[in-house]
Amino acid sequence: MLGAFRSALTTPDLRRKILFTLGIVVLYRLGATIPSPGVSYPNIQQCVQALEGENQSVYSLLNLFSGGALLQLSVLSLGIMPYITASIIVQLLQVVIPRFEQLKKEGQSGQAKLTQYTRYLTVALAVLQATGIVALAVRGQLFPGCQEQVIPDNSVLNMVVIVVTMTAGAVLLMWMGELITERGVGNGMSLLIFTSIAARIPSEGGKILNNSGGFVFAVICAFGLVIIASVVFVEQAQRRIPVQYAKRMIGRRMYGGTSTYLPLKVNQAGVIPVIFGSSLLYLPQLLGQLAGNQNTWWSRFIQTYIVDPSSWVHILLYMAMIIFFAYFYVSITFNPEERADEMKKFGGFIPGIRPGRPTAEYLSFVLSRITLPGALYLGIIAVLPNFFLGVTGGQGGAQNFPFGGTAVLIMVNVGLDTVKQVESQLTQRSYEGFLR
């Protein structure tokens, strides 16, 4: 593996791409530490320290994706989450709106238009999210219990400047991610999320070490390695459906007659169900904070049972939402009828299954069978931090636990994808890859 890294760095083209990617990552982390204009940096540091003892936060997931920049109200505080949300919405609309479905089938030109729509929607979501964060900060609800004024000047002009700055930061981050995808190594958006999550691991590990001692820290690190190995095993697992192509005579040449397979991943939905489930669980608390009334029985019920990560109601709801969204997202992204028509068009068939509708029914049956263990796997990995809150002292929230949940799923997926891309480029240059 070290030899493969050395080969990658000694290849001029690949070395240039790696250095370009690292440069963008450094600029991203630098921008995540620069506070927005009009924000009191000393006051916000005191509020963040006071919030460390809380194990429930509306923006814990968003703060994780921004590498802790969200609660700092920095220039890049929104992170890449507006673009991710916009991409998911546009992808879902391709099934609902016929125009979007037609653009998807038009190839590169249609994909360019969908990308442009995603950018426009990203700007709109960034404005909406930045406005909500600034409104909560001005009303003192972004940091519950903190008496410091994080935005001393409450004038409309100052708040507009902060919103515009955060929105511009989100657009800049979207552009940086696209630059990595075009000129660097790996998927730019995914790498930026990977960087944000990895940036929080040292601080979260330090909290565990200070609160629970060295023995508990060592046990959690060992358990974290087991979780990572398990995630890698499941993420690489797939059901390979054999596909046979009939021989065809075109002119004087014989084509077809080959055997291949259709890979169906066990975790076909990826990390999307976890993101959806987390967002919906924190939505009631966010609406309650925006309403401003925290003393009603409904607000107390939400705080005690829905938002509290250690509550069994929270854990069961979280699991149920992840399983539901896993089936929902797989049904949208994978169409068995389209796959069956494509195989029939090119003379392919599954041995023992007739082409056309029987093939589609067989693919749907297999997909529903393998989606259940994939959804259960996602749910178990996602709720693991909730069981370890008591062991680690309950600091930072379940979403910020460094060896479980959303963090480890995203890091492992992005790491595997990046390694495969670097390996493919090395293979093209006749070098040994990472996987032997």
* Domain CATH for 241: 1.10.3370.10
Residue 386: pLDDT band (50, 70, 90) is low
Short-list 278, 302, 308, CA closest to 288:
302
Q: What is the average per-residue pLDDT within 280-305?
A: 65
Q: Is 96 a member of any domain?
A: no
Of residues 27 and 35, more confidence is placed in 27
Q: Is 248 a member of any domain?
A: yes
Q: Is 4 a member of any domain?
A: no
Question: Amino acid letter at 91?
Answer: Q
Residue 351: pLDDT band (50, 70, 90) is confident
**What are the pLDDT digits (tens) for 194-204?**
888 888 777 77
pLDDT of residue 287: 65
Cα 91 from Cα 114, distance rounded (Å): 9
pLDDT of residue 210: 79
Q: Is 87 a member of any domain?
A: no
pTM attached to this predicted model? 0.77
Q: Is 340 a member of any domain?
A: yes
**What are the pLDDT digits (tens) for 153-206?**
788 888 899 999 999 999 999 999 889 988 888 888 888 888 888 887 777 777
How far does Cα 120 stand from its chain's mean position?
20
pLDDT of residue 165: 92
pLDDT at 397 over 50: no
Residue position matching structure tokens 């809380």 = 54
Q: Is 219 a member of any domain?
A: yes
Q: Give whichever of 85-99, 108-122, 260-274, 389-403 has the largest mean pLDDT.
A: 108-122
Average the pLDDT over each of 150-154, 339-343, 385-389 and give the range with the smallest value: 385-389
pLDDT of residue 296: 67
Number of domains in the chain: 1
Q: Is 404 a member of any domain?
A: yes
pLDDT of residue 120: 93
Mean pLDDT for all residues in the chain: 78
**Distances, alpha carbon 298 to alpha carbons 58, 139, 208, 239, 276, in Å:** 16, 21, 33, 45, 23
> 359: domain range?
211-409
Task: Using a pLDDT cut of 70, give the percent of the chain over it.
Answer: 77
Q: Is 9 a member of any domain?
A: no
pLDDT of residue 396: 43
